[in-house]
Structure 1
Amino acid sequence: MATAHTRMRRPFLGVAIGAVLAASAAGGVVFAPAALGAVPSEQALQQAADATHSGEIALVNAQALNHVVAETDVPLPAETSSVDLADLKKSVRVLAHADELSAEEVADRTADVILGTVIVQSRTADLQDDLTAAKEAEAARVKAEQERIAAEEAAKKAEEQKRRAAEALAAVNTPEGAKQTARQMAAERYGWGEGEFSCLAQLWTKESGWNYQAYNNDGGATGIPQALPGDKMATAGADWRTNAATQIAWGLGYIDRAYGSPCAAWGHSQAVNWY
């Protein structure tokens, strides 16, 4: 993968090689043909040793990166999945025995190692860039996948909650479900036991038959408690038209405020036919 850093480095590679070779020549490494069998100078041998050391470091770094890439699960293009070390290894191995070479051979092999070192260093940097980019891309992919899964799970959870709410609403909106809800609500909120609930059951059976859709065409009384007008029940919840539990909550509150108990309300209803 060619990054901006890589593109800047490639022209620099040629400049670096030329500079290194020129510096080596100026230091006593002669690249022009020399007398066959001439003994290399101490300066040439030192430069050969320096080049060998630099090459070995480049090989170690490249080998370490190759190992990291081989062990990672992050996918990389096959053509950029490793740094080729064969040429530099061979050149370093030969130059390591510079004292066994002629002056001309030392100069040639030193040049080979310097060039090979720069190439391996450049390709190592390129591979590191590619690995970093691949890891970032993989991290982004994993994050996106996690977010997708989380969104799906949230949607499923919301759908399940919606389904359960619909089932609960359907259950409470039946006469028996409404009675069970009223019994529990009367006990938990007002401390009214079975005796009071018995009065409540008779009262609302008379008023609406525990039908949350009950409506009195003559006066407009609405719902299980027959609120008049029906929109009074909005104080207990915006869903008062469709939810028996909301109607019951309002109706129990009304009985508590107006009569103090269901039996008192039932007694009033029996006396005057309304409550």
Structure 2
Amino acid sequence: MLQKIKSLWMASAVAAATILGVATAGPSMAQTGQSHTQASPAQASTPEEARALAKEIVPAGNELACFNMLVTAVTNGTWDVQYKGYTNPGGYGLGQLQERQYAPFGSDWEDNAAPQIHGTVDYAEDRYGSVCGALGFYQANLWY
């Protein structure tokens, strides 16, 4: 049953990525051996800058499409790096995570999308195996 749900969810993620014009092939950071040990030097604070930076940091394909859907959902569509509106107590920014998930990627995590993007991807891959795994869990539970 779980495998069927995962299969249906992945099909919906691929369909959404196709509609959004996002490529649907590409490995996760874990699959490519890349890591999030350092944040990008780029400073991004507006929603537009955060979206552009995500395209540079998050692997293309399903992972990028899933990241975009996850951030859009948890920030209520704002992509605001200072967003605090999610139900997670202490949740902050793009991933609605806590300081401990963002801080290793930059001391300016409170107003810079780069550490938030790295922290969100790192958290998703560590806890759910991939960003798409985190999105699937979020869609099923409305939290992750």
TM-score (norm: length of structure 1): 0.34
Kindly report which structure 2 residues correspond to 1:93-104, keeping only aligned pairs within 5 A, or say none. Answer: none
- Larger Cα-atom Rg: 1
Query: 4+ residue stretches of structure 1 with deviation over 6 A?
Result: none
SS of aligned partner of 2:58:
helix
C-alpha separation between the residues in 1 aligned to 2:101 and 2:123?
A: 10
Kindly report which structure 2 residues correspond to 1:232-243, keeping only aligned pairs within 5 A, or say none. Answer: 232-243=101-112
Deviation at 1:271, TM superposition (A): 0.3
* 2:77 is aligned with 1:205: no
C-alpha separation between the residues in 2 aligned to 1:230 and 1:216?
A: 16
C-alpha separation between the residues in 2 aligned to 1:247 and 1:217?
A: 15
Q: 1:225: which partner in 2?
A: 95
C-alpha separation between the residues in 2 aligned to 1:198 and 1:186?
A: 9
SS of aligned partner of 1:223:
coil
Q: 1:182: which partner in 2?
A: 54
Q: Return the match for 1:255 from 124, 127, 133.
A: 124
TM-score (norm: length of structure 2): 0.63
Deviation at 1:195, TM superposition (A): 2.2
Q: Return the match for 1:195 from 55, 62, 78.
A: 62
Unaligned runs of 5+ in 2: 1-40
C-alpha separation between the residues in 1 aligned to 2:125 and 2:100?
A: 19
Superimposed CA distance per residue, residues 178-218 of structure 1 (whole angstroms, 9 cap, x where no aligned partner): 1221121112xxxxx22221111111111113110111376
Give aligned pairs, total.
101
Identity of aligned residues (%): 35
Deviation at 1:263, TM superposition (A): 1.4
Q: Return the match for 2:133 from 264, 267, 270.
A: 264
Cα root mean square deviation, aligned? 1.9
Higher RCO (Cα < 8 Å, 6 or more apart): 2
SS of aligned partner of 1:206:
helix
1:226 aligned partner, one-letter code = Q
> Which structure features the higher share of helix residues?
1
Asked if structure 2 preserves the Cα contact closer than 8 Å seen for 1:223 and 1:230, the reply is no
C-alpha separation between the residues in 2 aligned to 1:181 and 1:205?
A: 15
Superimposed CA distance per residue, residues 69-124 of structure 1 (whole angstroms, 9 cap, x where no aligned partner): xxxxxxxxxxxxxxxxxxxxxxxxxxxxxxxxxxxxxxxxxxxxxxxxxxxxxxxx
Check 1:260–1:238 CA distance in 2 against 1; reply closer, same or farther (3 A cut): same
Asked if structure 2 preserves the Cα contact closer than 8 Å seen for 1:233 and 1:240, the reply is yes
